[in-house]
């Protein structure tokens, strides 16, 4: 087999396969809030939910993150140890809560999050 041909086939194939794992990393805005008011930033095994009012940071909360192929699980690092389980939203970009913990009054995380570029 021609070496150039093998490289032309194997390199794109390996790049394609390397993207098979779902990464939830990124920046999200909560449904039901003004743009930029409630932000969730996920990086690896940590997420930070920040609440802004008139462009000024009001509060933030840090979460442990467990990333799975079809879902992501958030657990607050301080205070209550409730877990919040999210799956991919219908738009294939955002997050939607699939656990009852998001339905509680005073939930730390919104039911839906839209990915921000």
**CATH number of the structural domain spanning residue 100:** 2.40.128.280
What is the C-alpha separation between 103 and 65, in angstroms, rounded? 20
15 is a domain residue:
no
84 is a domain residue:
yes
Sites in the chain below the pLDDT cut of 70 = 1-22
What is the C-alpha separation between 43 and 35, in angstroms, rounded? 21
Q: Where are the alpha helices (DSSP H) in the chain?
A: 3-18
Expressed as residue numbers, the domain containing 40 is: 22-116
112 is a domain residue:
yes
27 is a domain residue:
yes
pLDDT in the model for residue 21: 53
pLDDT in the model for residue 34: 92
Structural domain total, the chain: 1
pLDDT in the model for residue 8: 44
110 is a domain residue:
yes
105 is a domain residue:
yes
What is the C-alpha separation between 70 and 84, in angstroms, rounded? 14
64 is a domain residue:
yes
71 is a domain residue:
yes
């Amino acid at each position: 087999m021609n070496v150039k041909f093998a490289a032309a086939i194997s390199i794109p194939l390996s790049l394609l396969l390397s993207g098979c794992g779902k990464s939830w990393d990124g920046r999200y805005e909560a449904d039901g809030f003004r743009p930029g008011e409630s932000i969730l930033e996920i990086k690896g095994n940590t997420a930070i939910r920040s609440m802004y009012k008139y462009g000024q940071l009001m509060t933030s909360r840090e979460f442990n993150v467990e990333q799975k192929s079809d879902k992501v699980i958030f657990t607050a690092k301080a205070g209550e140890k409730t877990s919040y389980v999210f799956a991919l939203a219908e738009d294939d970009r955002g997050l939607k809560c699939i656990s009852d913990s998001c339905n509680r009054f005073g939930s730390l995380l919104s039911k839906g999050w839209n990915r921000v570029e």
